[in-house]
Amino acid sequence: MKILRQTLFALLSVLMLSCGGDSAEDKILHKAADVHMEALKIKSEMESGLEQMRQAHNSIQVQGRALTSEEMVFTKEVSSLEARLKYWNDNHIEVPGFEHGEHDHSGHDHNHDHSHGNNFQLPASDMLIIQKEFKDSIKAIQGRLDVVLSKMPK
């Protein structure tokens, strides 16, 4: 009976360990996915400011007069910011295994091919670094948007 109990205990221990949670790689990938979602949230929160900036830009562009120096600076800054945002949208990648998580696809395509030509496998730690860099990038774009909005011609 003692041998049966020890064998049963050993089998249960192995079973519990094999089912016992995520690996270190999985935990890092979950963290990377969380960072990715935070970046998308920042982008989403920028939408009203982006729309305000675009409307002001379009309003300036359709005027039938020469632009003031303030308007010219503003339109150049808008173009630069739009280019940075397009680059961010075109190049950020999703975390493998989290591609179809619940997030807002506004601002980037809906073809569900989020590899952007990057069909390579990265270690989880590298994916986390990349996601942090993209989050930092969208935060920098957000900061620039705030500056552009503050300089918006009246």
* pLDDT score for 111: 41
**What's the number of domains the chain is made of?**
1
Joined tokens for residue 28: 């890092």
Query: Which tens digits make up the pLDDT trace of 67-126?
Result: 898 989 999 999 999 999 999 999 989 998 887 544 444 444 434 344 444 455 789 999
Residue with more model confidence, 121 or 49: 49
* pLDDT score for 53: 92
- The answer to whether 149 and 56 have CB atoms below 8 angstroms apart is no
Domain assignment present for residue 73? The answer is yes
Domain assignment present for residue 10? The answer is no
Domain assignment present for residue 4? The answer is no
Gap between the Cα atoms of 31 and 22, Å rounded = 12
Domain assignment present for residue 70? The answer is yes
- The answer to whether 127 and 27 have CB atoms below 8 angstroms apart is no
Domain limits for position 65: 24-150
Burial class of 98 by CB neighbour count within 10 A (0 to 12, 13 to 18, 19+): middle
* pLDDT score for 67: 87
- Residue 40: pLDDT over 60: yes
Domain assignment present for residue 135? The answer is yes
* pLDDT score for 17: 42
For the chain, count helices (H), then strands (E).
4, 0
- The answer to whether 56 and 74 have CB atoms below 8 angstroms apart is yes
Q: What is the value of pTM for the model shown? A: 0.71
Range 141-150 average pLDDT: 94
* pLDDT score for 3: 57
* pLDDT score for 60: 86
State the residue for tokens 């990265």: 122
7 — pLDDT class (breaks 50, 70, 90): very low
Task: Look at residues 78, 106, 128 and name the one whose alpha carbon lies nearest to residue 70.
Answer: 78
